[in-house]
Structure 1
Amino acid sequence: MTTPSTGRAVPVARATRTGLIALAVPHLEEPYFAELGSRLVRGADERGLAVLIVQTEGDHGREIDVANGVGLPSIDGLIHIPRSLTVADLTRRTSPGPLVLLGEHIQVSPFTHITIDNRAAAHTATEHLVSVGCRRIAYVGRRDSRPSDAADRRHVGYVEALTEAGAAPDPSLTAQVDAFTADEGERATAAVLAATPDLDGIVCSNDSLALGALAALAAAGRRVPDDVAVIGIDDIRATRFSVPALSTIAPDHDRLVDAAFTELQRQLTSPPGADLPVRHVTIPAALVRRASTARR
């Protein structure tokens, strides 16, 4: 639970440890979440823990249920990767216990949270395209129908980098998506390319969208990177094997997993009633240059 006055996590009395934690993910079909889930399972195994994986589909009600322990067996703690949870949802938890949030920022939160700097990631990606000579740079991956904090912050980073480069952001170069999948990346890229055929760079809000963008560009007869350079964010494994190999922004996955378990263990091992400070941990991410942005 969290004390309203201090915003600090206060462990409650717990039953005997089970050795089981829950991991809530939006979609295991999304490669990033599947790969992150695999890393977290290995990290748990190294620490003598078992993991129950719950797929929430990014549904608001389901995310709330998982945060409240609805339908879950007795667990020691929860690592939650939310898409639509709010601070208000979490402050009303009916089953308080060790909780670590990953990914979406959820604004200013009184709950321990681990993320990359999403704005900086997209800023770096856009800056890279500018540095290789791109001047008409699209952004594929805004989702206003069901807002994503991470995608919104990445769009802000894109706009800031263009502005700093002296290029006024063109709203027609921002493509909306319904989901962060390769299918949507292909559809959205085809649409923005038809509307603005002179674009020469694309920043995608994740790698799955970027893989779809590569397919759309190939179908349109546009060469990557000579005609259009493409970059994603997340560094999923498939980026190494696309044609051409995809440039991306790579989070430090090992540090992310270590931080998640460090924060979870800190809560698990604290005595009931201890006033724990809430921590917000930002994991570094680095540019990975590959063939999709290696313009001549």
Structure 2
Amino acid sequence: MRARRSAPVSRRERTGIVALAVPDLNEPYFAELTSLFVTRAHERGLSILIQQTAGGHEREVDIANGVGLPPIDGLIHIPRSLTVGDLTRRTAPGPIVLLGEHIQVSPFTHVTVDNKAGTDAATAHLAAAGCRRVAFVGRRDARPSDAADQRFAGYRQAVARLGLSEDVELIATVDAFTPEEGRRAMSEMLGQGVRCDGVVCSNDSLAFGVLSALQDAGLVVPRDVAVIGFDDVHAARFSTPALSSVAPDDSALVEAALDELERQMSTPPGMDMPVRNVVVGARIESRASTAR
């Protein structure tokens, strides 16, 4: 955890309300993370005001500036298109904590998961199960994603270290992290005659679509192809077969974000605040989809 110095934090009378800006509540991971934030904030005597941004730049800037929001004590923001420049020009400065990979270097406290290490471990997990041609479903080009970039980098790092196949045909690009895109990407790969014995997916939603495409192709998971996702959403336990996944330490993530926000909220007006970069770990939840 690294510390820097930031500008003084302004303060006003406490409201007991903290805003949480999330990209998409249709994505199971964000829905589950939001629920955890609500629970843990309540335990601290705080209420969460949920704002969905769809990753849109204008919407993310408005929330950072407090546009359309009631008075709040602070903001936890999961940005997708916000920039450091946008944040330094905030018209409603106050306590703020950034979550995720999009902005990692800035004069603002940041909390994230070690995504690169997570997919490195996921790829190594498949290699330990005997997989040698491990595909990756979830690279983003047309609509870049910092999380996808880090997860792809972790996969490539493990592939090189473990001497696995580096065929570019094993890498599938998606437009969104949805089951539909996972199914499409896997179906196209199989339709082009590409064969793999393992698949690392950028998230669990993509992995659910990959499982469906493999079943449609008459392939048995994990006998023919082992599959692992990322996020360990609740539904992963109930897919067929149950999905192995990289499980971020969401409890540590939420507690760190709330700790850092409350630290800013309790700092006297005008005092300089040390800026922190907190990285939480992840573990492999091994289930039937990789039990070869």
TM bracket (short chain): over 0.9
Q: Deviations over 1:206-245 (max 9, x none)?
A: 1111111111111111100001100011110000010100
Query: Which residue of structure 2 aligns with residue 65 of structure 1?
Result: 62
Aligned position for 1:235: 232
Alignment gaps of 5+ in structure 2? none
The aligned counterpart of 1:3 is none
Q: Offset at 1:10?
A: 3.6
Q: Partners of 2:165 and 2:105 in 1: how far apart?
A: 30
Higher RCO, Cα 8 Å, sep 6+: 2
Residue 118 (structure 2) aligns with:
121
The answer to whether residue 94 in structure 2 is matched with residue 101 in structure 1 is no
Does 1:87 pair with 2:94?
Answer: no
Task: Provide the rounded CA distance (Å) in 1 between the counterparts of 2:229 and 2:100.
Answer: 16
Structure 1 position 33 matched with structure 2 position 1: no
> 1:11, 1:267 within 8 Å by CA — same for their partners in 2?
no
Q: 2:139 aligns with which of 139, 142, 150?
A: 142
Poorly superposed stretches of 4+, deviation over 4 Å: none
Distance 2:265 2:61 in 1: 21
Question: Once the 2 structures are TM-superposed, how far is the Cα of residue 7 of structure 1 from its aligned partner?
Answer: 5.4
Amino acid at match of 2:290: T
Confirm or deny: 8 A CA contact 1:173 1:196 kept in the other structure.
no
Q: Does 1:42 align with 2:39?
A: yes
What one-letter code is carried by the residue in structure 2 that aligns with 1:102? L
- TM-score computed with the length of structure 1 as normaliser: 0.95
> Aligned residue for 1:151?
148
Aligned residue number for residue 213 of structure 1: 210
Worse overlay, 78-87 or 278-287: 78-87
Secondary structure of 1:179's counterpart equals coil
Secondary structure of 2:275's partner? coil
Q: Does 1:170 align with 2:167?
A: yes
Q: Deviations over 1:185-206 (max 9, x none)?
A: 1111111222244211110001
Which residue does 1:52 correspond to in 2? Answer: 49
RMSD, aligned CA: 1.4
Aligned-residue offset at 1:17: 0.7
Q: Secondary structure at the match of 1:279?
A: strand
In structure 2, C-alpha distance between the alignment counterparts of 1:94 and 1:143, rounded to whole Å: 32
SS at match of 1:114: strand
Q: 2:107 aligns to what?
A: 110
- Among residues 225, 246, 249, which one is paired with 2:243 in the alignment? 246
Please state whether the residue corresponding to 1:144 is helix, strand or coil: coil
Gap regions ≥5 residues in structure 1: 1-5
Alpha-carbon offset, residue 13 of structure 1: 3.4
CA deviations over 1:155-196 (Å, ceiling 9, x no partner)? 011011001111352221111111111111111111122224
Q: Does 1:200 align with 2:175?
A: no
Q: Match for residue 179 of structure 1? A: 176
Query: Distance in 2 between the 1:267 and 1:8 partners?
Result: 13
Q: Distance in 1 between matches of 2:81 and 2:211?
A: 29
Distance in 2, matches of 1:170 and 1:273, equals 55
Which is worse superposed, 186-195 or 26-35? 186-195
Query: How is 1:241-280 mapped onto 2 (pairs within 5 angstroms)?
Result: 241-280=238-277
C-alpha contact 1:10 1:272 (8 A) present in aligned 2? no
Q: Deviations over 1:25-79 (max 9, x none)?
A: 0000000000000000011111111111000001122111111111111111001
Contact 1:35 1:236 (C-alpha < 8 Å) held by counterparts: yes
Q: Deviations over 1:70-103 (max 9, x none)?
A: 1111111001111122222222222111001111
On the 8 A contact 1:11/1:270 being kept in 2, the answer is no
Moved more, 167-176 or 32-41: 167-176
| 2: CA distance, partners of 1:220 / 1:68 | 49
Q: Secondary structure at the match of 2:126?
A: helix
Give the TM-score normalised by the residue count of structure 2. 0.96
CA–CA separation in structure 2 for the residues paired with 1:212 and 1:64: 33
